[in-house]
Amino acid sequence: MAPSAQPEEPEQQVPESEPSTVDGSAAAYAESTVDWEALPEAVRTRLAEIGAEALGDMARVDVPQQLRPVARFAPAKRARLGGAAVLAALRDSPTFRTAVVHWCREHRPAQVDVTAPDAVTAACAAVLLGEPVATHYVELVARRAGEAALRAERDAALARAEKLESEVARLRAELEGSQGAAERVRQEREAELERLRKRLREQGVRLREAKDAAAEATARVEAVRAEAETELKSLTAERDRERERAEAERVRAQRAEAEAEVARQSAKEARQADEVRLALLVDTLDGAVTGLRRELALGGAGPRPADMVRGATPAQGAVGRVEDPAALDRLLALPSVHLVVDGYNVTKTGYPELPLSDQRERLVHQLAVLAARTGAEVTVVFDGAGVVAVPSAAPRGVRVLFSDPGVLADDVIRALVTAEPEGRPVVVVTSDRAVADSVRRRGAHPVPSSVLLARLGRV
């Protein structure tokens, strides 16, 4: 970096294009393929802390112009307030990066140990030293962070399941209590009816005794009759009252039975809802486990059907990674999905101003990132006309094919779709209507090039 037009004080400026020590760090770092914008949060935070701490002991000549205000901050505030500026300087200034490495070797040698057991420490050391394995360490940290998030989601789901089980147990207990109350009401009603029958039998006996006494004492017939009539009216009224009471008890019993039925129905509906929620939870956990297995899977050895198609030659692309799934995720999440891309159809739609070689390199790099994120099998086909040399090594995660002389890329795409077994999901990205119609008839899912470009634009 050239010195500023008006420096704060006269000093000798050291160009940032050359490291302050001759140890080959800049040359090694030039071979690094680390994407600073895609670093995991833990790595970014650790790098900002290391750079901020090194600022306090660093010679002024090694401090980039944009970091000199940050160097004047209190040590506790440098990483928090100037972390973004420190990361930008580490990325763009070899001089500053080399000075930080030397400071770590002198004061914090563990921070530049790429064999450290802590994955974050090893990743930071590899990034600072520009090691070729830095990308792998960064991917390891990102994958562990994702696994931690999945474990947290699993624990939360298990806690929700336990809460639902306790709620089901509570509802069952309430149902059993309602059934017990209904049974007690029924027993009380039967006991009350038995008491009424007994009293009626007793009154009948007394009536017969009164009649016998009337036959024996004619003189007392009228008095006994009046007494009997009076007593009979009283018994009748009491009997009516008992009947009304029994009817009321019967109505209450029916109401209790209805309430018990409602409680049983509510418990049944709650149980069904719990079963549905548990089924959804099991499906979610199964999807998460399947996704994790697919994320960690190394892939099978041996050829795939797309490797056996003639008329095309494999080529090499770049390797990367993505942040979040977007528009095509619902198709790319299908098990064993195969994504076939009409290469020039996509590149000439998205960035036609670039040379063909740059178009191929950019698309293959973006598809490699998509393949690393989704785990899908990805094949991109380019027309072979005009290609001077075809790379012999295939890129990781992406199969790159060039059509042979006299063979169109459209025919290679149709052959790839035909070669797949029936039932395997195949997604073909092309805006060519004829190709889209033909692959749709073969059971594939055609997707316009603009949709894939929108998805890749979010990387």
What string of pLDDT tens digits covers the 459 residues of the chain? 333 333 333 333 333 333 333 344 444 444 456 778 778 888 788 887 887 777 877 777 778 878 778 777 877 777 777 778 888 878 878 888 888 888 888 888 887 777 778 877 877 877 888 778 777 778 777 787 777 778 888 888 888 888 888 888 888 888 888 888 888 898 888 888 888 988 888 888 888 888 888 788 888 778 888 888 888 888 888 888 888 888 888 888 888 888 888 888 777 766 764 564 455 445 445 555 655 555 554 444 456 667 666 666 554 433 333 333 455 678 888 888 999 999 999 999 999 999 999 999 999 999 998 888 888 999 999 998 666 555 555 577 899 999 998 899 999 999 999 999 888 899 999 999 999 999 999 999 999 998 898 888 755
Instruction: Measure the CA–CA gap between 92 and 26, rounded to whole angstroms.
Output: 11
Instruction: Measure the CA–CA gap between 202 and 38, rounded to whole angstroms.
Output: 97
The alpha carbon dihedral of 29, 30, 36, 39 has a sign of: negative
Instruction: Measure the CA–CA gap between 18 and 27, rounded to whole angstroms.
Output: 10
Instruction: Measure the CA–CA gap between 337 and 453, rounded to whole angstroms.
Output: 19
**∠ Cα 438 441 444 (to 5°):** 90
Instruction: Give pairs for 188-191: CB < 8 Å, separation 24+.
Output: 188/249, 189/246, 189/249, 189/250, 189/253
H/E segment holding residue 402: strand 398-403
Instruction: Measure the CA–CA gap between 161 and 360, rounded to whole angstroms.
Output: 49
Helix (H, G, I), strand (E, B) or coil at 314: strand
Nearby residues of 37 by Cβ (< 8 Å), 6 or more positions away? none
Instruction: Measure the CA–CA gap between 445 and 124, rounded to whole angstroms.
Output: 42
Residue with tokens 């009948």: 204
**∠ Cα 51 57 61 (to 5°):** 85
Structure tokens at 375: 């785990």
Instruction: Measure the CA–CA gap between 120 and 148, rounded to whole angstroms.
Output: 14
Instruction: Measure the CA–CA gap between 371 and 286, rounded to whole angstroms.
Output: 22
Phi, psi (degrees; rounded to nearest 5) at 269: -65, -40
Instruction: Measure the CA–CA gap between 134 and 122, rounded to whole angstroms.
Output: 8
Instruction: Measure the CA–CA gap between 178 and 190, rounded to whole angstroms.
Output: 19
Helix (H, G, I), strand (E, B) or coil at 335: coil
- Amino acid at site 265: Q
